[in-house]
């Protein structure tokens, strides 16, 4: 569970008054966007608790979560929901969070929406083709989905641009002299894995490098262990490994170190997402930053527009490369 964080602690860290923090975390309109954003970022760093069932006067929306952790600052979904709730609060909407895992929730999507008197939903963690997401699309009830293409008049995708993110990593590694670059994805049936794998192959070609199937493996976005082919990939000559998430990358670095490989001197490793753990890993992880607070905010903005009759297909944000100590110039043998 997230630790309890007081408004005074956030105010001290952000160097603002307690009243400013209250306004930033609430639905006040007399605070500028930059100050609100700064307070939210410090609140996130301190582990501000995501509140549930907060009902305000104008309307209600619901977040359905399946397969994504979100309850503390190091979880991928934490800042997504923080941003979503902040934007909803500014528009006087309450947010409820429902964890979906059983068939009852999947079968009763429309009933849940109707009985809860919800105006729309934000759906996180579901794989392409999942029955729950398809029911949401067919229902015609306004919804946004994280990193999942679903066809429907009242449903839109929100996320960041994986192609740009992978291009930034490949360009960075090429600049360090790496020519044999591996890719380790999450679940093979994940849309995010497929997009980042495809972007990886295209980026190699763009930079004049060959794609080698021996340098590709799959893991899981929230796995506790490194992928099975990791050591074989490095022994086959890969000098750099691009991982589809920070958790995968951190697991890979730990396994490589246990196997006697030095990161980044023997092999460079990169992640994706820039979760808080990334800068505290050993070595600190080079990765791609997705501003999850902004993605969460944009999810609500898109949802609000759909609820107002605007048809939206995708809202994709631009990621940024964050260079740390897990990448270095290729070792010349």
Is residue 155 very low, low, confident or very high in pLDDT (cuts 50, 70, 90)? very high
Q: Give how far the C-alpha of residue 134 lies from the chain's centroid of Cα atoms, to the nearest Å.
A: 22
The whole model's pTM is what?
Answer: 0.82
- Cα–Cα distances in Å, from 212 out to 126, 195, 198, 202, 205? 30, 17, 13, 12, 11
For the chain, which residues make up each domain, given as ranges? 7-160+290-318, 162-289
| 289-312 per-position pLDDT tens digit | 999 999 999 999 999 999 999 999
Query: Is the pLDDT at 241 greater than 90, yes or no?
Result: yes
Cα–Cα distance for residue pair 206/200, rounded to 1 Å: 10
Query: Of the candidates 102, 96, 107, 113, which has an alpha carbon nearest to the alpha carbon of residue 135?
Result: 107
Give tens-digit pLDDT for 45-93. Answer: 676 765 544 444 568 898 888 888 888 887 888 899 999 998 998 888 9
**Are the CB atoms for 176 and 328 separated by under 8 Å?**
yes
What's the DSSP call for residue 262? -
pLDDT of residue 52: 44
Residue 229's CB is within 10 A of a number of other CB atoms, namely 17
Average model confidence (pLDDT) for the chain? 87
Q: How far apart are CA 184 and CA 15, in angstroms?
A: 41
List of long-range contacts for 13-17, beta carbons under 8 Å, 24+ apart:
13/42, 13/45, 13/46, 14/38, 14/39, 14/42
- Residue 119 in contact with residue 154, Cβ under 8 Å? no
Specify whether domain 7-160+290-318 bears CATH 3.40.50.2300: yes
Confidence check: pLDDT of 99 > 50: yes
Closest CA to 192 of 256, 121, 247, 265: 247
> pLDDT grade, residue 44 (50/70/90)?
low
| Domain 162-289 is found in CATH 3.40.50.300 | no
What's residue 3's pLDDT?
54
pLDDT band (50, 70, 90) for residue 102: low
Q: How many CB atoms lie within 10 A of CB 257?
A: 14
Range scoring the smallest mean pLDDT among 3-7, 103-107, 255-259, 310-314: 103-107
Percent of the chain with pLDDT over 70: 90
Matching residue, tokens 């100050």: 35
Which pLDDT score, from 0 to 100, does residue 235 have?
A: 93
pLDDT digits (tens, 9 = 90+) for 166-192: 999 999 999 999 999 999 999 998 899
Is the pLDDT at 24 greater than 80? The verdict is no
Same fold, 7-160+290-318 and 162-289: yes
The answer to whether 274 touches 322, Cβ cutoff 8 Å, is: yes
């Amino acid at each position: 569970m997230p630790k309890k964080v007081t408004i005074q602690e956030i105010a001290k860290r952000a160097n603002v008054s307690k009243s400013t923090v209250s306004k930033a975390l609430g639905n006040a309109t007399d605070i500028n966007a930059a100050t609100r954003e700064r307070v939210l970022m410090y609140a996130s760093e301190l582990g501000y608790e995501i509140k549930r069932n907060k009902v305000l006067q104008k309307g209600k929306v619901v977040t359905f979560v399946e397969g994504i952790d979100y309850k503390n600052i190091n979880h991928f979904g934490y800042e997504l929901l923080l941003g979503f709730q902040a934007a909803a609060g500014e528009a006087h909407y309450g947010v409820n969070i429902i964890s979906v895992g059983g068939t009852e929730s999947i079968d009763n999507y429309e009933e849940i929406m109707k009985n809860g008197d919800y105006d729309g939903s934000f759906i996180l963690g579901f794989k392409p083709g999942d029955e729950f997401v398809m029911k949401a699309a067919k229902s015609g009830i306004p919804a946004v989905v994280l990193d999942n293409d679903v066809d429907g008049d009242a449903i839109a995708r929100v996320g960041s641009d994986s192609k740009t993110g992978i291009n930034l990593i490949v360009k960075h590694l090429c600049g360090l002299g790496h020519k044999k670059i591996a890719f380790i994805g999450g679940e093979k049936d994940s849309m995010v894995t497929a997009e980042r794998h495809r972007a990886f192959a295209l980026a190699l070609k763009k930079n004049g490098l060959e794609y080698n199937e021996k340098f590709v493996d799959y893991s899981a976005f929230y796995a506790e262990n490194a992928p099975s082919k990791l050591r074989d990939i490095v022994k086959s000559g890969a000098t750099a490994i691009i991982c589809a998430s920070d958790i995968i990358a951190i697991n890979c670095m730990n396994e490589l170190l246990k196997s006697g490989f030095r990161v980044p001197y023997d092999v460079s490793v990169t992640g994706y997402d820039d979760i808080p753990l990334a800068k505290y890993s050993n070595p600190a992880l080079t990765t791609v930053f997705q501003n999850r607070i902004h993605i969460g905010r944009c999810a609500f903005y898109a949802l609000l527009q759909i609820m107002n009759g605007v048809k939206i297909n995708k809202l994709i944000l631009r990621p940024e490369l964050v260079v740390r100590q897990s990448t270095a110039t290729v070792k010349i043998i």
